[in-house]
Amino acid sequence: MAAYPPNQQYGQYPPPQGAVNMPYPPVQGFSNQGYGAPVGAPPPPSYNEATDNKFQPQQAPQQNFQPGMPMPLPKMPAQYSNVSYNDNTDASGTAENFSSSFSDKAIRRGFIKRVYLILMTQLAVTVAFICLFLFVDSIRNWIQGPGFWFYYVSYGTFLVTYFVLICCPSVRRKYPGNFICLAVFTLAFSYMTGTISSFYSTNIVLMAMGITALVCLAISIFAMQTKIDFTLCSGLLFVLVMVLFMFGLLTIILRFAFGYNRILDIVYASLAALVFGLFLIYDTQMIVGGRKHELSPEEYIYGALQLYIDVVYIFLIILSLFGSKN
């Protein structure tokens, strides 16, 4: 039975034996020989089945490709020539957006690591001051006696360096001045915290440190995992700070007028713990990113400073809630 002739232009092989050349109705101006080629066209190459079951090739046409090679793919439009698709790309599907998003995530991870490394160093210095003032009796007695005036010096240094770091972006972004100013701030605040802790019993201070660590860890995990965007609550935090400030002034006035009131101090400390807990969530989400507002990767000093203040103030508030001064 006759098989289909080969197609020499694209180098295709003939179908297996037994394929039949199905008849087609005649079309005017075309013949049934060779796929309905026009009348007068040269006959297709012959196929001798009885000899060696090979084609009798003719001369291949002068093309940019040779017989047996695959057909060239059509040229893509110019606007798609530099686009590559990947399963990990974003909604637009471009490799450029994927590379930029990957780079942003890598920068953000490096920023987070730097902020928390600075924070751990600051907390380690503060813990060292607290332990020094608690366990060394000579230093503890000097701080509570003639050396108490140095507390006010450290308080003034704390305020000056804090406002410099907050209000002067050129200072906190320029190395090494930013680290020097942050180191002075940390030493001053650590001295203040150690001085306050020295007026409490050792067991209460250690218990407050443990509670602070657990509370801050829980708040940080919640801030990273929750879908609630607390960076949009800056107005609410400002209102709560003003309420806390006014309540603190009222507490001082009532203390001078009627003496010490434990219940009033507990209410004030509870409100302060709530406010600084919200600030810890707010600052954590600003550092981690992925929210409406986030810190720039250049603001690692600012981010570490805010987290450090939140953690230390939560410790002092817990200390005042559960401890009693000596």
How much is the CA Rg of the chain, to the nearest whole Å? Answer: 40
CB 265 within 8 A of CB 251: yes
37 located within any domain: no
Residue 84 falls inside a structural domain: no
- Collapse the DSSP code of 67 into the 3-class scheme (helix H, G, I; strand E, B; otherwise coil) and give the result: coil
65, β-bridge pairs: none
User: Are the CB atoms for 38 and 90 separated by under 8 Å?
Assistant: no
What's the total number of domains in the chain? 1
In a domain, 112, yes or no: yes
Q: How far is CA 238 from the centre of its chain?
A: 26
Our CA angle for 129, 135, 137, nearest 5°, is 105
Q: Rounded to an integer, what distance in angstroms lies between the CA atom of residue 87 and that of residue 80? A: 17
249 domain-assigned: yes
Write out the chain's pLDDT in tens, 326 residues.
555 455 544 444 555 555 555 554 554 554 444 455 555 556 555 555 555 554 445 554 444 545 444 444 444 444 433 434 344 434 444 444 433 444 577 888 888 899 999 999 999 999 999 999 998 888 888 888 888 888 899 999 999 999 999 888 888 888 888 899 999 999 999 999 999 999 998 889 999 999 999 999 999 999 988 888 888 888 888 999 999 889 888 888 888 887 777 788 888 888 899 999 999 999 999 898 877 878 888 888 999 999 999 999 999 999 988 766 55
- pTM, 2 dp: 0.66
The answer to whether position 23 is within a domain reads no
d(CA 263, CA 250): 14
Q: How many CB atoms are closer than 10 A to CB 324? A: 10
Chain centroid to CA 75: 40
Please check whether residue 279 lies inside any domain of the structure: yes
String of DSSP letters for 254-274: HHHHH---HHHHHHHHHHHHH
Residue 148 lies in a domain: yes
Structure tokens at 110: 């490096």
CA angle 277-281-284, nearest 5°? 130
Q: Which domain holds residue 182?
A: 108-322
Contact criterion met (CB below 8 Å) for 198 and 191: no
CA quadruple 252, 257, 262, 263: dihedral sign: negative
Does residue 307 belong to any structural domain of this protein?
yes
Beta-carbon-side half-sphere exposure of residue 299 (alpha carbons within 13 Å): 18
